[in-house]
Amino acid sequence: MEFLSQSANALGCASGSWRIWSLSDGYVDLPAESLRYPNKKICKQTEAPQRDDSLVRLSVNCFLFDRSGMDRVLIDCGAGGSWDPSMGHLMEAMAEAGIDRSSITMIAFTHAHGDHINGLLMPDGRRAFNGLRKIVIGQDAVEEFLAEPELEQFRPLLAPINGGDRLADHLLAVAIPGHARGHMGYLLNTDEDDILFCGDLIHVPAAQFSCPELTWAYDDDEGMARASRITLLKDAVNTHTWLAGAHLGRPGIGRVAEEGQGYVFIPAA
């Protein structure tokens, strides 16, 4: 993968005939006690980048890729104006990268939590992506999306999928169960690299790479989420797959390597 550009909130890369961008929607601080061992014991050995060690800071990342002749695909679209003011900054990141938001024709959601779907609307309530023609979402995540009344206008665009479905020749939907209903990853093969956009596979990279059995209290099924994480981290090492995660530290994309009894994340830049 070749790195083309980097700014405060955007990283641009090239792989084969593809262009891939990592775009920051901001960050959110959440209780450190949400990180737990399998026996439900609270994990206290996290690295807190802010002064209050009772909190952990989660980056909120979105990703965009395209190539000539294919729709410009956005993976998740951030929180919009629905959460803390530290989030909802995707439009600023896109402007830094020189991306016209009206050029986005397809959004693929990893799941239907607010920090991934509410960015369909700008903080002032306007549509964020006027050129949007299709919204890909896991079949089991549709019900949660439909429960958001402010997003009703987007229902005709929904295109439900299941793990194993192909969105295009080079793009495969990968079921990643545990965190949320219909939690889906998207595996892009560029003919040079495999890149798995893995959503909320990992929430606290400072802890969960070295200790992947640690779970997150916001997971629907912590045991299943743990199993998905352990399996996919092992697979990423064995297949040399890049991981691009919604809550991995900026720029949110990198390689995984074994280290001790766990793993280490090597950021792209």
Q: Per-residue pLDDT tens for 23-81?
A: 999 999 999 999 987 765 555 544 444 445 689 999 999 999 999 777 899 999 999 98
- Residue 50's pLDDT is what? 43
Residues of the chain short of pLDDT 70, as ranges, are: 39-53
Q: In whole angstroms, what is the distance from residue 87 CA to residue 101 CA?
A: 18
CA dihedral 240, 242, 247, 249 (to 10 degrees): 90
Taking residue 219's Cβ as centre, other Cβ atoms within 10 Å add up to 21
> Long-range pairs for 158-162 at CB < 8 Å and ≥24 separation?
159/134, 159/135, 161/136, 161/137, 162/138
Q: In whole angstroms, what is the distance from residue 155 CA to residue 15 CA?
A: 33
- Residue 238's pLDDT is what? 97
Q: Which amino acid is at 182?
A: G
Taking residue 63's Cβ as centre, other Cβ atoms within 10 Å add up to 25
Q: Which amino acid is at 3?
A: F
- Residue 52's pLDDT is what? 55
pTM of this structure:
0.93
